[in-house]
Structure 1
Amino acid sequence: MRRALFLFTIACSFYQSTEAQNPEFENLRTIDTWLQSNINDNNLSGAVILIADKDNILYSTTKGKSNLESQRDMEVNDYFKIASLSKVITTVAIMKLYEDGNFDLDDPIELYLPIFKDTKVIIEDSSSENYTLESTEKKITIRQLLNQTAGFAYDGPIISKLYKEKSLSFSNPTHESLSSFMKDLSSMPIVHQPGEKFTYGPSTDVLGYLIEVVTGQNLEIYLEQNIFEPLGMASTGFDAHRQSIDKLVRAYSKKGDSLKGINKELDLKKEYKTKVFMAGSGLISTASDYIRFCQMLLNNGIYEDKRILSRKSIEMMTTNQIGGIDYPKGFYPILGKGNKFGFGLNIITENGAFNEFYSEGSYYWEGAYSTTFIIDPKEGFAALMMTQLGGWHSLKVRKDFRKSVYKTLK
């Protein structure tokens, strides 16, 4: 493991802007400098950054405020809405069930979820708002749900209207259970033929429902018993923040020269209990919890001698699973033209544009509020930033975070 590539040691495990005189800390402190600069410029309210190898936390810094209104300082064990970082956790859960022989990846989803048997495809008239529906030419498979080519979309000219008519909300579901939510989702069409394009959408939520049906457990319990408990992620779950609700970090977006709170906060009632477990976006976690998950991925499925997933499953997740399909243009600024999608992850390819310093074969993912990680097996590290910043401005912050990490390499 090329640990010497980092200008930091295990001794700085909980480094908090230490005024170290050792010149070897100079590059290490550039991460602190970058973070503080973004806070000073109102690009971020605050953040927790952790860097680890497969065994140890190599670097940790926490700066800024978790809530600008109350001026509460950010703390390393604060709770974050991890949004689409939930997808990677659900993907691991699915691969675990696949390893155990519960299904094959190319099985039609309707074998296990018959409500999706008659899914239709939207055929739009590009000159108007008219559309027709046609039957799928092929069955939607579990593999297509994993690689986001199944045709499910979060939004679009037609599908957004249909969701609204059905009162389907992915960020704030009002249904009584995941099964009732899925019943309504199954009545919605997909936006293209299965396997034809990459379309980012609620495919992972369908996989969450598959977990419930296959295991006979609700998603919350399955994840807790099979991922969170083995990894020691005691502060991760759909309601993990309820006992310390003041420690939930508030989300902001950049408006002009200042940060404004995003009015999409979770129900802050302590007694509230989540009913619809959204596998693609609903989890709450802390930086110290999620870095353990990243270390497990970096170490090919093992964390502290506990095997969560096989090495071959990790390989499948972290290699191209969409073949010659390209990301749509709207995804280029986020993931880079020429890069590819594995299962739940963006994979850096040899020919991918916007790769910056990244090694070929490294991979990362992000959440809507800028929780983000990158794992580089060649350099032997996982880097995680937990913050709560929405809007298009956040794309540059996420990218600059990754750059600031790579700048510390010799």
Structure 2
Amino acid sequence: MQRVLIIFTILFCFSLTSKAQNPEFENLKNIDSWLESNIKDRNLSGATVLIADKSKLIYSITVGKSNLESQRELQPNDYFKIASLSKVITTVAVMKLYEDGYFDLDDPIEKYMPIFKNTKVINRQDDSDSFTFENANTKITIRHLLNQTAGFAYDGPIISKLYKEKGLSFFNPSHESLSSFMNDLSSMPIIHQPGKKFTYGPSTDILGYLIETVTNQNLEAYLNNSIFIPLNMTGTGFDAHRKDMNRLVRSYSKQENNLKAINNELDLTKGFKTKVFMGGSGLISTSSDYMKFCQMLLNYGVYKNTRIISRKSIEMMTSNQIGDIDYPQGFHPILGKGNKFGFGLNVITKKGKVNEFYSQGSYYWEGAYSTTFIIDPKEGFAALMMTQLGGRQSLKVRKDFRKTVYKTLK
């Protein structure tokens, strides 16, 4: 195994700075060992890990292969499908528009997207496939979309069948635009009354369409102008990988004792330029780019003297936004355990932190291919792992990554 890059530095600031500004780690090489072990055991093909404080990179390593078939070494500037890490970026964009007065969070979404005016609710009385539709008791709001309580679901025993009949796919859709995709999605029902449950689904994709409708520009252009260009995220976008297709890291899943390539539309190694900008799953990024975004979150909206959104917006995103609603409603057995959901983020609560190493008030999110980050304001660091591992095995790898990072704290 060739180590492409390893930077191992412990940074100390002025003696009077607080611990939150000056995270203290030891034995960071334990992360090296953890990565190398997982690659040797064929749990990962390769990975990049970065740790930073608010302004500086503390640790960086890139190891393994970007493509097991070609045996290409993983490079620090390679492109990753970040999947649901896209949701956090889109959420920041929505909060920026909220700050600028484009809408209120409790506005009904039909005010800006009339196609959702007559959304119905599935009424399923038992475990059978029979169902009826009922009217929503309350309007779906922007807040419902942000905290994933609107009722839109990715899948389920009834809704999956309805999506298939309609020809709806949330990953690499065949529509001509996000608008045409939303026209079809708006004809689909939600699976429960708005605001009553946490249901992980395409709510953030709808928020991407909200951005398009209120700004009169496509989502790609708005994200470029409001986030990517100000943060100098030059390797991030819906088609960023097309600058050099060889740098797109291939995705794998663990099957028995080996890694098998995931050969489906998500590989993005072929096809035409993206037409449907899915704000919940469609972005491509690099490790250095996404770490800039994480540092902006850690620094309450600021990166290198450039403010993207306000401190109060970050506080809203990283606090409990679902109240007493159970989380995660069966969506993810590892993410729950007493924690809560903010806007686009899993938030560690006092009750939840007893299950793991994480500090109360820390938060994280992850993508389907195991791109994941955790930000701990109390300890003063952001940690990011970029890899491309799908399937059930990936849940353990993501969790073990966070645990390994925390084990290195003094």
Same fold at TM > 0.5: yes
Contact 2:181 2:276 in 1 (8 A): yes
Which whole-Å CA distance do the structure 1 matches of 2:112 and 2:333 have between them? 36
State the one-letter code of the partner of 2:193: Q
Which whole-Å CA distance do the structure 2 matches of 1:267 and 1:292 have between them? 24
1:233-272 equivalence runs, <5 A: 233-264=233-264, 265-269=266-270, 272=272
Q: Percent of aligned positions with the same letter in both sequences? A: 74
Structure 2 SS opposite 1:196: coil
> Normalization by structure 1: what TM-score?
0.93
1:357 paired to 2:357: yes
Structure 2 SS opposite 1:241: helix
Q: Gapped runs of 5+ residues in structure 2?
A: 1-7, 13-23
1:12-42 CA distances to partner (integer Å, 9 max, x unpaired)? xxxxxxxxxxxx9971110000000000000
State the one-letter code of the partner of 1:90: T
Q: Gapped runs of 5+ residues in structure 1?
A: 1-6, 12-23
CA pair 380-127 structure 1, distance change in 2 beyond 3 A: closer
Q: CA RMSD in A?
A: 1.5
Give the aligned partner of residue 183 of structure 1.
Answer: 183
CA pair 332-240 structure 1, distance change in 2 beyond 3 A: closer
State the one-letter code of the partner of 1:331: F
Contact 2:198 2:329 in 1 (8 A): no
1:339-358 equivalence runs, <5 A: 339-352=339-352, 355-358=355-358
Which whole-Å CA distance do the structure 1 matches of 2:351 and 2:154 have between them? 28
Which whole-Å CA distance do the structure 1 matches of 2:134 and 2:246 have between them? 49
1:284-305 CA distances to partner (integer Å, 9 max, x unpaired)? 0000000000000000000000
1:215-294 equivalence runs, <5 A: 215-264=215-264, 265-269=266-270, 272-294=272-294
State the one-letter code of the partner of 1:175: H
State the one-letter code of the partner of 1:9: I
Structure 1 SS opposite 2:92: helix
The offset of 1:332, in angstroms, is: 4.8
1:84 paired to 2:79: no
Matched residue pairs, number? 391
CA pair 332-156 structure 1, distance change in 2 beyond 3 A: closer
The offset of 1:408, in angstroms, is: 1.1
Contact 1:227 1:308 in 2 (8 A): yes
Give the aligned partner of residue 143 of structure 1.
Answer: 143
Contact 2:106 2:143 in 1 (8 A): yes
State the one-letter code of the partner of 1:76: P
> Normalization by structure 2: what TM-score?
0.93
Structure 2 SS opposite 1:55: coil
Which whole-Å CA distance do the structure 1 matches of 2:25 and 2:96 have between them? 40
1:343-402 CA distances to partner (integer Å, 9 max, x unpaired)? 000000011167411000000000000000000000000000000000111111101100
State the one-letter code of the partner of 2:359: S
Which whole-Å CA distance do the structure 2 matches of 1:86 and 1:332 have between them? 18
Give the aligned partner of residue 123 of structure 1.
Answer: 123
1:396 paired to 2:396: yes
Give the aligned partner of residue 45 of structure 2.
Answer: 45
Structure 2 SS opposite 1:290: helix
The offset of 1:337, in angstroms, is: 1.8
Contact 2:348 2:360 in 1 (8 A): yes
Give the aligned partner of residue 70 of structure 2.
Answer: 70
The offset of 1:172, in angstroms, is: 2.0
Moved over 3 A (4+): none
The offset of 1:243, in angstroms, is: 1.3
The offset of 1:263, in angstroms, is: 1.7
State the one-letter code of the partner of 2:267: L
Contact 2:233 2:290 in 1 (8 A): yes
Contact 1:348 1:355 in 2 (8 A): no
Contact 1:337 1:354 in 2 (8 A): no
Structure 2 SS opposite 1:217: coil
Contact 1:8 1:25 in 2 (8 A): no
State the one-letter code of the partner of 1:160: S
Give the aligned partner of residue 16 of structure 2.
Answer: none
Contact 2:63 2:74 in 1 (8 A): yes
1:200-215 equivalence runs, <5 A: 200-215=200-215
